[in-house]
């Protein structure tokens, strides 16, 4: 999987309440959830994000609630990949399970500024800041998790396991 | 001989069918209980249906608790609750709790004996870690993990490293389990235990009540923890006896088990604590927070809506009334707690103090309903999160504290200790 887009950069401890506020959790419709993505952190996010754009954040991205509505809204808003220094563990599982590409790459986060053009080769695990010309390497996924990603998410993996 | 293991490693090894496990190892575990609520079950049900199996793995081991937006807040919430109800009926789910039997999930399942010591439990709610108080491994997951759990009764885990918190000594007056966990989160930060199991021990923990233990384990997630756990002892035994619906298994850490870190805490150094906006780690002593005026106080939630919490609040509110500028909302976490509070006369004390007493619901904790804040308003709550916009408008603020501080604050109109009142 290869993506190119504009980086939208945020700080540390971005919680799932600001990614998708609970007042919108009375639905699980991705289109509805996308309209309010990042609303309480950056009310302008939805109007500026273009399909393929890249979310960049510091440590502990996606902390707090287990709501899968968070990765769903990010994906449905058009974000192609989230690059962070680290992810909160439930968000990490949810992203893998639902097929939202994520990469742990502390050096890349430090080397990318808001508005930079960034291209990502998720299979090779490389991140290139096209604005500065510097390429970074993300932490590789363990084979067990790579297997879930390659099957297209947890449900596809379970289907295969159960022969359903 | 297997390697020396922590309680968490032993529970996970037993459920993976392995003689031993070590941190970092990826394993597949058999689950004892899978939990979802009215916000997370609808996605889990949709994903379950995509798997293509007709029936859940075991209808007696899935718990569905519509507690977040119930009694239904609006039409969309009603549709979500209906979807959960229809699925529960179709699958013959035995642990489905309708309004009138429902409680806040993490107070309800231990109370009803659905989760027991030694279990492995996943729940599509981040505060599932509460059940660690019983000596179980319990962790929050997303809806898709829950869906896979409905279908297979299994989940994959990376065996976490463990942090050992050894808390010794006597707690000072008005210092509770809530202050202990806020103190710890303030010390290690909101990702201080990221991906790790937080094990609590020491004389303070051994001397604590089950309600306090649940409060402590409940907020492990606020330090990024995968789980919180307290080993089985006579307090656990007294709690589960007569309510556990299955046999339980007792595990304990080997004395020479390996921990990523051992953190020793002197209980006498813990003071009544408030987490200021907008992170649970942003803690300050109540003594340094008295200038903050408060518009609303909420006593309830999976963190502090249990009987002992209500008793403490009632002790302070008895014979007093809420400050005229404060709205006090008290939410017993389950029907049983509500009934017990009524029989003990606590509800009369609350009504006499001008509190609004509600049927069980998560409601205001997550900004769902039953006490949403307007722009710029401030709430002090016994809940677990104070993120931006958590209880309402993005410019509103939430301060987290114990039931004692909450009750005193409701009377004083600003953040206060019970001893500050006349």
Compute the distance between CA of residue B261 and CA of residue B276 in angstroms, rounded to an integer: 27
CA distance B142 to B124: 5
Q: What is the dihedral of CA B35, B38, B44, B49, to 10 degrees?
A: 120
Q: What is the overall mean pLDDT for chain A?
A: 95
Comparing CB atoms, the residue among A15, A89, A154 nearest residue B194 is: A89
Alpha helices in B17-137 (DSSP H): 41-51, 75-91, 105-111
Is the link from the previous residue into B87 a cis peptide, with omega within 30 of 0?
Answer: no
B55 interaction partners in chain A (CB closer than 8 Å): none
| Distance in angstroms (rounded) separating the CA atoms of residues B12 and B22 | 10
Tokens of B155: 């989940």
Question: Which H or E run contains B266?
Answer: strand B261-266
| Location of structure tokens 């009694």 | B71
CA–CA gap between residue B159 and residue B197 (Å, rounded) = 9
Dihedral of the CA atoms A50, A54, A55, A59 (nearest 10)? 180
What's the rounded mean pLDDT across residues B148-164? 97
* Chain A residues in contact with chain B using a Cβ-Cβ cutoff of 8 Å: 13, 15, 17-18, 21-23, 25-28, 39-41, 59-60, 63-69, 71-72, 86, 88-90, 93-94, 97-98, 142, 144-145, 153-155, 158-159, 161-162, 164
3 state SS of B197:
strand
Binning pLDDT at 50, 70 and 90, where does residue B224 land?
very high
**CB contact at 8 A, A29 and B76:** no
Cis peptide bond N-terminal to B278, omega within 30: yes
| B125 CB within 8 Å of a chain A CB | yes
- Residue B421 CB neighbours (<10 A): 13
pLDDT tens track for B256-289 = 999 999 999 999 999 999 999 999 999 999 999 9
Residue of B nearest to A68 (CA): B142
Residues of B in contact with A21 (CB under 8 A): 367, 389, 394
The CATH superfamily label for domain B273-420 reads Aconitase, domain 3 (3.30.499.10)
Q: Where are the domains of chain B?
A: 7-264, 273-420
Residue A164: pLDDT band (50, 70, 90) is low
Q: What is the 3-state secondary structure (H, E, C) of chain A?
A: CEEEEEEEECCCCCEHHHHCCHHHCCCCCHHHHHCCCCCCCCCCHHHHCCCCCEEEECCCECECCCCCHHHHHHHHCCCCEEEECCECHHHHHHHHHHCCCEEECHHHHHHCCCCCEEEEECCCCEEEECCCCEEEECCCCCHHHHHHHHHCCHHHHHHHHHCC
Cα distance between residue B19 and residue B16, in whole Å: 9
pLDDT tens digits, B287-344: 999 999 999 999 999 999 999 999 999 999 999 999 999 999 999 999 999 999 999 9
Angle at CA of residue B300, ends B290 and A28, nearest 5°: 115
Nearest to B318 by CA among B345, B356, B357, B290: B345
Q: What is the CATH number of domain B7-264?
A: 3.30.499.10
What is the SS3 string spanning B273-327? EEECCCCCCCEEEHHHCCCCECCEEEECHHHHCCHHHHHHHHHHHCCCCCCCCCE
Report the pLDDT value the prediction gives residue B67, as an integer from 0 to 100: 98
Asked if B368's CB is within 8 angstroms of A23's CB, the reply is yes
Q: Are A11 and A57 in contact (CB under 8 A)?
A: yes
Partnered with residue B28 across adjacent β-strands are B156
Name the band, by pLDDT with cuts 50, 70 and 90, for residue A149: confident
Write out the two tokens for B394: 């993005």
Calpha distance B72→B76 (Å, rounded):
9
- Provide φ and ψ at B250, rounded to 5°: -100, 125
> Among A147-151, B31-35, B118-122, B376-380, whose mean pLDDT is lowest?
A147-151
Cα gap A123→B102, rounded to integer Å: 46
B349 near B318, Cβ under 8 Å? Answer: yes
Which residues of chain B make contact with A26, given a CB cutoff of 8 A?
Answer: 69, 73-74, 76-77, 80
Confidence of residue A142 (pLDDT cuts 50, 70, 90): confident
User: For residue A94, what are its two tokens?
Assistant: 């949810």
Which of B218, B159, B160 shows the shortest CA–CA distance to B184?
Answer: B218
3-state class (DSSP) for residue B228? strand
Q: To the nearest whole angstrom, how far is the Cα of A113 from the nearest Cα of chain B?
A: 24
Looking at residue B2, the DSSP 8-state letter turns out to be: P
Q: Output DSSP code: residue B163.
A: E
Kindly report the average pLDDT of chain B as a whole number: 97
pLDDT of residue B266: 98
Question: φ and ψ at B221, to 5 degrees?
Answer: -60, -30
Q: What pLDDT, on a 0 to 100 scale, did the predictor assign at position A1?
A: 83
In total, the C-beta contacts within 8 angstroms joining chain A to chain B are: 145
């Amino acid at each position: 999987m290869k993506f190119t887009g504009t980086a939208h950069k945020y700080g540390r401890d971005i919680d799932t309440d600001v990614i998708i506020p609970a007042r919108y959790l009375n639905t699980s419709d991705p289109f509805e959830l996308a309209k309010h993505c990042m609303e309480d952190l950056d009310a302008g996010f939805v109007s500026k994000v273009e399909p393929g754009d890249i979310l960049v954040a510091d440590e502990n991205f996606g902390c707090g609630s287990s709501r899968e509505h968070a990765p769903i809204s990010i994906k449905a808003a058009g974000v192609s990949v989230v690059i962070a220094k680290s992810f909160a563990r439930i968000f990490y599982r949810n992203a893998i399970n639902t097929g939202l590409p994520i990469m742990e790459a502390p050096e890349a986060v430090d080397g990318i500024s808001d508005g930079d053009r960034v291209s990502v080769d998720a299979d090779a695990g490389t991140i290139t800041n096209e604005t500065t010309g510097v390429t970074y390497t993300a932490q590789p996924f363990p084979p067990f998790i790579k297997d879930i990603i390659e099957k297209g998410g947890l449900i596809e993996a379970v289907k295969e396991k159960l022969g359903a | 001989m297997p390697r020396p293991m922590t309680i968490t490693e032993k529970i996970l090894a037993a459920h993976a069918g392995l003689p031993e496990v070590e941190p970092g190892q990826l394993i597949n575990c058999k689950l004892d209980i899978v939990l979802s609520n009215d916000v997370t079950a609808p996605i889990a049900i949709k994903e379950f249906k995509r798997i293509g199996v007709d029936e859940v793995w075991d209808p007696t081991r899935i718990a569905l608790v519509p507690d977040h937006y119930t009694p239904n807040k609006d039409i969309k919430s009603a549709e979500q609750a209906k979807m959960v109800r229809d699925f529960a009926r179709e699958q013959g789910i035995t642990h489905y709790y309708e309004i009138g039997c429902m409680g806040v999930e993490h107070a309800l399942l231990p109370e009803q004996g659905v989760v027991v010591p030694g279990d492995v439990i996943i729940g599509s709610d981040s505060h599932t870690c509460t059940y660690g108080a019983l000596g179980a491994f319990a962790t929050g997951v997303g809806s898709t993990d829950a869906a896979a759990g409905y279908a297979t009764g299994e989940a994959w885990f990376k065996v976490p490293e463990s942090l050992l918190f050894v808390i010794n000594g006597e707690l000072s007056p008005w210092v509770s389990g809530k202050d202990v966990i806020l103190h710890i989160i303030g010390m290690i930060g909101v990702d201080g235990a990221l991906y790790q199991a937080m094990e609590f021990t020491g004389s303070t923990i051994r001397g604590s009540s089950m309600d306090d233990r649940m409060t402590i384990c409940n907020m492990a997630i606020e330090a990024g923890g995968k789980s919180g756990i307290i080993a089985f002892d006579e307090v656990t035994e007294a709690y589960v006896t007569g309510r556990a619906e299955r046999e339980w298994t007792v595990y304990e850490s080997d004395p020479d088990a390996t921990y990523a870190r051992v953190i020793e805490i002197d209980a006498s150094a813990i003071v009544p604590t408030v987490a200021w906006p907008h992170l649970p780690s942003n803690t300050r002593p109540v003594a340094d927070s008295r200038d903050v005026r408060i518009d609303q106080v909420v006593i309830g939630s999976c963190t502090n809506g249990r009987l002992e919490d209500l008793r403490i609040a009632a002790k302070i509110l008895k014979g007093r009334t809420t400050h005229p500028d404060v709205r006090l909302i008290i939410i017993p976490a389950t029907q049983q707690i509500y009934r017990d509070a009524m029989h003990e006369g606590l509800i009369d004390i609350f009504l006499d103090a001008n509190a609004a007493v509600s049927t069980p619901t998560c409601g205001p904790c997550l900004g769902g309903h039953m006490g949403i804040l307007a722009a710029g308003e401030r709430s002090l709550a016994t809940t677990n999160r104070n993120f931006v916009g958590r209880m309402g408008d993005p410019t509103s603020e939430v301060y987290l504290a114990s039931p004692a501080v909450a009750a005193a604050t409701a009377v004083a109109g600003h953040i206060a200790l019970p001893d500050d009142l006349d």
